[in-house]
Amino acid sequence: MFNRLPLACMTLAVAITATAQDYPTRTVTMVVPYAAGGPTDTVARVLAQAMTKPMGQTVVVENKPSAGGILGPEQVKNAKPDGYTILIHHIGMATIPALYRQLRFNPLTDFEYIGLVNDVPMTIIGKPALPANNLKELLAYIKANKDKVTYANAGIGAASHLCGMLFMSAIGTDVLTVPYKGTGPAMNDLLGGQVDFMCDQTTSTTGQIKGGKVKVYGLTSKQRVASLPDVPTLDEQGLKGAEVGIWHALYAPKGTPKPVIDKLVAAMQEALRDEGVRKRYTDLGAVTFPPDKQTPQALEQHLKAELNKWAPIIKKAGVYAD
């Protein structure tokens, strides 16, 4: 009995290694923590499609929408750590922990890191019928109508929540916030005139801005973006303190074997070298991280630095969810 145990363990170890080495033999699911049609979904779909070739298997996107994007990470944390379920998330992985008193996942201990994908600026946009035509007019309009103006976001912990929090603190005025389970549905309501304004990634707003479907008041980046050359930054218009970039990254459940993670890293890197992917991201205002950041180590460092950066800012704002 005692002699057989190590042999059984060895057999199991060999079986797991062999499975990891054969990986992948079937479809891989990339979980998106927000609704379809939104910016995170767009970044994910471009990447998933481009990873299909180097993976040799289809990579499909599965939306797990929830306000704040908190259910997607939980689903992936609880998935089998075999590489067939992975997570794409954004800056929310660094802001959610400071905002939720009861969170059922820990970004630092429940995941294996794959790498950083891209960084996307946000835009302050308004419904077509909003009377304000520029930032100055928007600020005057908000101040004069602060009891009836509505701001749409994707729930506490979302990038749009973070941006709204910074924006309202920078202008010294709070307005009524309407939460959605992603900014895809929020954009539909903005276009329909049910909400007044929002802050969303250029990956979702570029088409609407270029098509003249929404009003635009400024970018949250330090510099203008090539895809929207006429849109000024908030900073250059004198509004300081609302600067934020939305970075995206890939994760796998804790305990996913190293050979599997290595394959996922290689496939992500190959996808991000693809000219079509780079062009698509650039056209949407996204900046792909350089190759030395497309690694598990760089993601771990970045996540830790971002957690440390945002925790005191969020604490100062005094916002919490249960």
Q: Which chain residues interact with ligand ASP by CB under 6 A?
A: 34-35, 38-41, 92, 153-154, 158-160, 182-184, 200-201
- Provide, rounded to whole angstroms, the least separation between the CB of residue 62 and ligand ASP: 14
Please write down the HEC assignment for all residues of the chain.
Answer: CCCHHHHHHHHHHHHHHHHHHHCCCCCEEEEECCCCCCHHHHHHHHHHHHHHHHHCCCEEEEECCCHHHCHHHHHHHCCCCCCCEEEEECCHHHHHHHHECCCCCCCCCCEEEEEEEEEEEEEEEECCCCCCCCHHHHHHHHHHCCCCCEEEECCCCCHHHHHHHHHHHHHCCCCEEEECCCHHHHHHHHHCCCCCEEEEEHHHHHHHHHCCCCEEEEECCCCCCCCCCCCCECHHHCCCCCCCEEEEEEEEECCCCHHHHHHHHHHHHHHHHCHHHHHHHHHCCCEECCHHHCCHHHHHHHHHHHHHHHHHHHHHHCCCEC
- Provide, rounded to whole angstroms, the least separation between the CB of residue 34 and ligand ASP: 3
- Provide, rounded to whole angstroms, the least separation between the CB of residue 67 and ligand ASP: 10
- Provide, rounded to whole angstroms, the least separation between the CB of residue 41 and ligand ASP: 6
Is the Cβ of residue 34 or residue 105 nearer to ligand ASP in the bound state?
34
Is the Cβ of residue 183 or residue 256 nearer to ligand ASP in the bound state?
183
Is the Cβ of residue 183 or residue 221 nearer to ligand ASP in the bound state?
183
Is the Cβ of residue 63 or residue 295 nearer to ligand ASP in the bound state?
63
**Closest residue by beta carbon to ligand ASP:** 38
Is the Cβ of residue 200 or residue 243 nearer to ligand ASP in the bound state?
200
- Provide, rounded to whole angstroms, the least separation between the CB of residue 160 and ligand ASP: 3
